[in-house]
């Protein structure tokens, strides 16, 4: 009976959904408590004074929590998860909201340096209060900041390529800084992967180069919005043509070794990496999935040659951190199984009742060997988008987070939206995996590797969710009755809870009646499959990012609160989290069930 699915909510999803709203607050279900864990500007090291919005310095920002937290990971340091390392990306800065009276035409050098220091990543120890989900930051020897000036080691087949050499780094193997770190992943060996996404916006004077390879990556125009090119020539393409090639990679860092140097892995290709997530094959080789988050871009897979070494020792981590340097990079091609005439762009299900089909992973390069006609292996790694173009990869609706289910191995990919699909003059109309034109609300795709084998080069796929207002005919929630699900727009990050439920955070929730973004949970199996429920909403102008779901606590990054058109520090659109007339501050929030006084046991 498709109407009454009945039954109890699956474990981990027993909450009353939060209604869509436009409040300037984090709204959680009844019976849950919340706490702000850490805010932009909070000190990470002893001796750093409390944040003072009106007296910022670059030197202090280097030692404070960065701006616009995006991906987050909680790495437990004990079996109960009482002590954790919280690792977060700081995707980008919004200077008009960071500085009163900010002049976009004439930023000061100190403002630019503060922005460099507010990008990157943070590692901070957080301690959980027993019987609670409250997380409190503490100073520890693990606390670190990675910024625009931190040295990274470049590794893999494109390291030391001429395409990566600059006047400051003639080796092509040492890059200062990381940029636009969006989503990421925790590896099975306990390190962090972080995707460098929209790096194009930081490099000025592209027009002087007249290079189609730059244009293909959206590196265009003359002056940048932030004007960094005035203060360091590496951001000026007229003076330093290759610096831009040193961004757009997957970064790996080992938070458990505070002295370690972070790595940029060239074997995973260069594009607007949303993230990278690892699945381990039966024989110990590893695969990494990654999406290129832009309209009409591709989904990628990497298969290592080496095998994962088990155990948490530093030596094992050192070995496992080399796995992403040696292997084969593939790009996805998706084929629908319904007649193309039935994919009419409206989102109406085809006659077989599913948006689904088959697909293959097309090899691009392995080590120094290119599989792409007319491109060397180095070119494939550095200009991976062009390689995908040449082999006929499938143009998707903004591939965001992609991650394999920890128990089933089924891969979930959020395809955020694509308002250009099917537009007059656009690259492409509706296809079965991207079935709506002018797609405002996005979809969530399930991909099953052949025979469930992580190493397979063919797969089947289907759309699990076609997002939007459930009352609209162009939405689909795995066949679950739509009058019982929460509305969702622009799925972005995906995560799994310990029970195997999928959690999805949204970006551009405002596309649905101006409502705030949120976090949603949904079972992927059983009678409640597709029963999507909203767990929380974030404040005005904010995006919900980096969800982590454990037995005890759910954390989310509240990114860019108050970022609405025209809002500035002189005219803030949000006062979250500090209230009153305060400036909004991107922050991490912890949410937990009230009065749940069970013992602190894993799996309780
Ligand atoms: Fe930074 Fe793809 O969102
Ligand atoms: Ca079909
Ligand atoms: Ca994202
Ligand atoms: Ca996003």
Give DSSP secondary structure letters for 549-592: E-SS-EEEEEESTT--TT-BTTB-S--TTT-TTPPP--EEEEEE
Half-sphere exposure of 340 (CA within 13 A, CB side): 4
Q: How confident is the model at residue 508 (pLDDT cuts 50, 70, 90)?
A: confident
What is the average pLDDT across 211-235? 98
Q: What is the pLDDT of residues 47-81, one digit of tens each?
A: 999 999 999 999 999 999 999 999 999 999 999 99
H-helix or E-strand containing 386? helix 384-390
* CA separation, residue 534 to residues 63, 187, 502 (Å): 35, 28, 12
What is the rounded distance in angstroms from the CA atom of residue 275 to the CA atom of residue 187?
Answer: 12
What is the rounded distance in angstroms from the CA atom of residue 116 to the CA atom of residue 232?
Answer: 11
pLDDT score for 3: 39
pLDDT score for 312: 85
* pTM assigned to the model: 0.97
Q: How confident is the model at residue 276 (pLDDT cuts 50, 70, 90)?
A: very high
What is the average pLDDT across 243-256? 98
pLDDT score for 74: 98
Atom of ligand 1 nearest to the CA of 398: 2
pLDDT at 272 over 80: yes
Cα(67) to centroid(ligand 3), Å: 15
Helices (H), strands (E): how many in the chain?
Answer: 7, 32
* CA separation, residue 256 to residues 77, 125, 140, 289, 311 (Å): 9, 11, 12, 24, 14
H-helix or E-strand containing 381? helix 377-382
Cα(84) to centroid(ligand 3), Å: 23
Atom of ligand 1 nearest to the CA of 91: 1
pLDDT score for 509: 75
Q: Strand, helix or coil at 152?
A: strand
pLDDT at 229 over 70: yes
pLDDT score for 109: 98
Tokens of 354: 């599913």
Tokens of 132: 């609670």
Atom of ligand 1 nearest to the CA of 180: 1
Residue nearest to atom 3 of ligand 1 (CA): 182
Which alpha helices (DSSP H) does 480-560 contain, by range?
Answer: none
What is the rounded distance in angstroms from the CA atom of residue 282 to the CA atom of residue 419?
Answer: 40
pLDDT score for 6: 56
pLDDT at 278 over 70: yes
What is the average pLDDT across 489-505? 98
CB distance 197 to ligand 1 below 6 Å: yes
Tokens of 381: 């790694």
pLDDT at 38 over 60: yes
pLDDT at 4 over 70: no
Question: How many other CB atoms sit within 10 Å of the CB of residue 102?
Answer: 17
Burial 279-288 (b: 16+ CB within 10 A, else e): bbbeeebbbb
Q: What is the pLDDT of residues 376-419, one digit of tens each?
A: 999 999 999 999 999 999 999 999 999 999 999 999 999 999 99
pLDDT score for 597: 61
What is the residue whose two structure tokens read 């085809």?
A: 350
Q: What is the pLDDT of residues 525-568, one digit of tens each?
A: 999 999 999 999 999 999 999 999 999 999 999 999 999 999 99
Is the Cβ–Cβ distance between 90 and 66 less than 8 Å?
Answer: yes
Cα(492) to centroid(ligand 4), Å: 6
What is the rounded distance in angstroms from the CA atom of residue 508 to the CA atom of residue 515?
Answer: 9
What is the rounded distance in angstroms from the CA atom of residue 572 to the CA atom of residue 578?
Answer: 13
pLDDT score for 346: 98
CB distance 243 to ligand 1 below 6 Å: no
Cα(590) to centroid(ligand 1), Å: 22
Mean pLDDT of the chain: 96
What is the residue whose two structure tokens read 């903004």?
A: 398
pLDDT at 599 over 80: no
Question: How many other CB atoms sit within 10 Å of the CB of residue 234?
Answer: 22
What is the rounded distance in angstroms from the CA atom of residue 551 to the CA atom of residue 131?
Answer: 11
CB distance 274 to ligand 1 below 6 Å: yes
What is the average pLDDT across 335-347? 98
> Could you tell me what percent of the chain has a pLDDT over 70?
97
Please classify residue 63 by burial: count the beta carbons closer than 10 Å to its beta carbon, then call 0-12 exposed, 13-18 middle and 19+ buried: middle
Q: Which pairing describes strands 295-297 and 396-397: parallel, antiparallel, or unpaired?
A: antiparallel
pLDDT score for 9: 84
Ligand nearest the Cα of residue 183 is 3
pLDDT score for 1: 32
What is the rounded distance in angstroms from the CA atom of residue 132 to the CA atom of residue 511?
Answer: 35
H-helix or E-strand containing 114? helix 109-118
Is the Cβ–Cβ distance between 202 and 226 less than 8 Å?
Answer: yes
Atom of ligand 1 nearest to the CA of 401: 2
Cα(355) to centroid(ligand 2), Å: 4
Please tell me which residue, 285 or 602, carries the higher pLDDT value: 285
> Could you tell me what percent of the chain has a pLDDT over 90?
95
pLDDT score for 595: 80
pLDDT score for 604: 32
Cα(250) to centroid(ligand 4), Å: 17
Q: What is the ipTM of this complex?
A: 0.93
What is the rounded distance in angstroms from the CA atom of residue 50 to the CA atom of residue 34?
Answer: 22
Q: How confident is the model at residue 8 (pLDDT cuts 50, 70, 90)?
A: confident
CB distance 182 to ligand 1 below 6 Å: yes
Cα(91) to centroid(ligand 4), Å: 10
Residues with CB under 5 A from ligand 2 (ion): 337-338, 350, 352, 354, 356
Question: How many other CB atoms sit within 10 Å of the CB of residue 598?
Answer: 10
pLDDT score for 518: 98
pLDDT at 95 over 90: yes
pLDDT at 298 over 90: yes
Q: How confident is the model at residue 354 (pLDDT cuts 50, 70, 90)?
A: very high
Q: Strand, helix or coil at 358?
A: strand
């Amino acid at each position: 009976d498709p109407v009454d699915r009945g039954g109890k909510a699956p474990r981990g999803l027993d909450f009353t959904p939060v209604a869509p709203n436009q409040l300037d607050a984090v709204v959680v279900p009844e019976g849950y408590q919340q706490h702000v864990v850490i805010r932009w500007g909070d000190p990470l090291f002893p001796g750093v004074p409390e944040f003072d919005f009106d007296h910022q310095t670059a030197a202090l920002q280097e030692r404070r929590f960065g701006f616009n937290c995006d991906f987050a990971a909680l790495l437990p340091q004990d079996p109960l998860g009482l002590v954790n390392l919280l690792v977060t990306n700081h995707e980008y800065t919004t200077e008009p909201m960071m500085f009163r009276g900010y002049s976009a035409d004439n930023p000061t050098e100190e403002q630019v340096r503060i922005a460099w220091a507010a990008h990157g990543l943070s590692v901070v120890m957080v301690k959980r209060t027993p019987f609670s989900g409250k997380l409190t930051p503490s100073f520890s020897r693990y606390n670190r900041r990675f910024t625009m000036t931190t040295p990274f080691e470049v590794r893999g087949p494109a390291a030391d390529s001429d395409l990566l050499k600059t006047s400051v780094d003639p080796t092509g193997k040492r890059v200062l800084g990381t940029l636009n770190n969006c989503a990421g992943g925790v590896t099975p060996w306990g390190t962090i992967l972080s995707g460098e996404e929209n790096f194009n916006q930081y490099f000025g004077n592209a027009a002087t180069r007249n290079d189609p390879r730059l244009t293909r990556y959206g590196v265009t125009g003359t002056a940048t919005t932030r004007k960094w090119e005035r203060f360091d020539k590496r951001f000026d393409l007229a003076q330093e043509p290759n610096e831009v090639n040193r961004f757009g990679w997957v970064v790996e860092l080992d938070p458990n070794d505070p002295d370690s140097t972070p790595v940029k892995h060239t074997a995973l290709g260069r594009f607007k990496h949303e993230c990278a997530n690892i699945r381990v094959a039966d024989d110990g080789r590893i695969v990494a999935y990654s999406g290129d988050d832009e309209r009409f871009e591709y989904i990628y897979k990497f298969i290592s040659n080496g095998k994962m070494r088990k155990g948490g020792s530093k030596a094992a981590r050192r070995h496992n951190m080399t796995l992403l340097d040696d292997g084969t990079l593939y790009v996805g091609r998706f084929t629908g199984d319904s007649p193309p005439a039935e994919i009419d762009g409206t989102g109406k299900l085809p006659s077989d009742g599913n948006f689904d089909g088959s697909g293959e992973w097309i090899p691009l390069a392995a080590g120094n060997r290119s599989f792409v006609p007319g491109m060397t292996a180095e070119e494939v790694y550095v200009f991976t988008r062009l390689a995908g173009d040449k082999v006929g990869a499938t143009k998707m609706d903004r591939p965001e987070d992609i991650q394999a289910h920890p128990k089933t191995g089924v891969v979930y990919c959020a395809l955020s939206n694509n308002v250009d699909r099917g537009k007059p003059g656009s690259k492409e109309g509706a296809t079965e995996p991207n079935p709506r034109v002018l797609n405002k609300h996005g979809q969530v795709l399930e991909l099953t590797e052949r025979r469930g084998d992580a190493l397979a080069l063919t797969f089947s796929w289907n759309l699990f969710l076609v997002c939007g207002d459930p009352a609209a005919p162009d939405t689909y929630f795995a066949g679950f009755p739509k009058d019982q699900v929460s509305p969702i727009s622009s799925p972005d990050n995906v995560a799994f809870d310990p029970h195997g439920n999928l959690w999805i955070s949204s970006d551009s929730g405002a596309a649905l009646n101006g409502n705030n973004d949120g976090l949603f949970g949904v079972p992927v199996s059983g009678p409640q499959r597709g029963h999507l429920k909203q767990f929380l909403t974030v404040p005005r102008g904010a995006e919900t990012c980096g969800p982590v779901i454990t037995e005890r606590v759910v954390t989310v990054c509240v990114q860019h609160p108050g970022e609405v058109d025209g809002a500035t520090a002189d005219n803030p659109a949000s006062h979250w989290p500090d209230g009153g007339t305060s400036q909004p501050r991107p922050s991490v929030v912890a949410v937990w069930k009230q009065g749940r006084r069970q013992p602190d046991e894993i799996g309780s």
